[in-house]
Amino acid sequence: MTRKNVWFASLATPVVIAILLLLAGSTSVTANDQPSAANAAVKIDNFVFGPQTVTVPVGTTVTWTNSDDIPHTAVSTDGVFKSKVMDTDEKFSYTFTNAGTYSYYCSIHPKMTGKVVVQ
Amino acid sequence: MPNKKQDRIDQQLQDLTNDGVDRRGFLKCMAWAGTGLVWTMSGGIPVSRAFAKNNSKDAGVAADFSFVQISDSHIGFNKPANPDVTATLQVAINKINAMPRKPDFIIHTGDLSQLSKPSEFDTLDQALKGASAKQIHFVPGEHDMLSDNGDEYLQRFGKGTKGTGYYSFDHKGVHFVGLVNVANLKAGGMGSLGHEQLEWLEDDLKGRSASTPIVLFAHIPLWTIYPDWGWGTDDSEQALSYVKRFGSVTVLNGHIHQIMQKVEGKVSFHTAMSTAFPQPAPGTAPSAGPMKVPADELQRVLGITDVNYVVSGRSLAIVDSPLGDSGSSASGNVGALGVVDSPLG
């Protein structure tokens, strides 16, 4: 609701679309902010979730990949999802079936936080 | 005049610390691994002085007892920063075993393992069985609590502890408290002790004489070093408020894989080197991840910490030693305790 969040979301959207385009392959993705692809990616690099906010349609599977030499987790602040510990190059996926804003963090390094906005 | 050199060092230290701090509470550095540097933090400014070679013997005899702190062994880590962390742990143990005076016990300030795996804990356990000091006191790091709420750690290394693994014990007049600040961490926060543990700590210290030297040890620093990297503990101030009335308080931490020291009144803070891999100085890298150094330099940035306690002055001397063969490279007078950090190499 804050101006800052709106700004983050609008900044993140083109990035998300670019990632979706990369991931989707032959799946068609419309160019008007309403991608129909069902995958999105978050990369963990240098103790940062990137992008920090992903905005995706309902039904999207988000996959986190740990590119650090140190293990990380992605744990929903509200207990909606909780990854196992991801060591280097390990992944975790979760499919978002309900609209909403899902805040999460790394339970090992709680300064690391991120957000999935499901529309 | 065997004490002449020691007197001179004491005088130097007094000069260095001429900052209005109560002298009685400010204790002498009794570093015994003589080839290093004396580090003092005075008003936040680190000062180092070279130690003469012969002091090691005198001070070693003077100490009433000593113990060793090791930290951040990360058994299971196998990336380029150090592909063989078991070998460097062994170097650290060899260094302990080669000490002229056998330490009474070892404190491990957490991150025994990389991924809390039983095999990693087994390897650490086996290696430490070869240490001259048989008594080892542990606190967990965040890497030791990765699965099943730390049950694997607690079953092996936390027998008889309270809650998430905290406890206290007394040794030759010094009260030691092992605290856990890596459990139930909150989103956006740093290390956390939690209400239950804080209550226990207050109760544990209640009724103890203010002249009892206190040593607090925990994995994540109990003072805020660099919040952006989570190098601090959100509720440490409350914990420290319980030790304010004591004349000598020493806080030993790990987690940041490098030596940092600070003195605040009667409280001395000290962090130890890792036995596995170094981490960058705060803010000097994009993240706190493992720092890669040339292989032949690795053991110089890994190490162990000796702490010597002297009853007469109620002082502890802390010596940090590198794992490598250059002997101890820096020693620290951090107020109540003298510390010598020895790099491994």
DSSP annotation string for A41-55: EEEEETTEEESSEEE
Please answer yes or no on whether B189 and A109 come within 8 Å at the CB atom. no
Q: For chain B, what are the domain ranges?
A: 70-343
Task: Choose among A85, A88, A103: nearest Cβ to B146.
Answer: A85
Domains of chain A: 3-26+37-118 (2.60.40.420)
Q: What count of other Cβ atoms lies within 10 Å of the Cβ of residue A14?
A: 11
Please tell me whether the overall predicted TM-score, pTM, comes out greater than 0.90 for this model.
no
- Backbone φ, ψ for residue B262 (5° rounding): -155, 145
How many percent of chain A have pLDDT more than 90?
A: 68
Query: A101 to chain B nearest CA, in Å?
Result: 15
Tokens in use for A107?
């339970």
Q: Best of B143, B185, B292 to disrupt the A interface by mutation (most A CBs within 10 Å)?
A: B185
Least confident of A34-48, B291-305, B324-338: B324-338
Tokens in use for B152?
């694997």
Report H helices in B4-84. 4-16, 55-62
CATH architecture of B70-343: 4-Layer Sandwich (3.60)
Please report residues of B whose CB lies closer than 8 A to that of A89: none
A40, A44, A85, A102, B275 from A11: Cα distances, Å = 16, 19, 29, 18, 42
Confidence of residue B147 (pLDDT cuts 50, 70, 90): confident
> Residue B51: pLDDT above 60?
no
Confidence of residue B135 (pLDDT cuts 50, 70, 90): very high
Confidence of residue B309 (pLDDT cuts 50, 70, 90): confident
Please answer yes or no on whether B188 and A113 come within 8 Å at the CB atom. yes
pLDDT digits (tens, 9 = 90+) for B178-197: 999 999 999 999 999 999 99
Tokens in use for B178?
């092992």
pLDDT digits (tens, 9 = 90+) for A27-36: 433 444 444 5
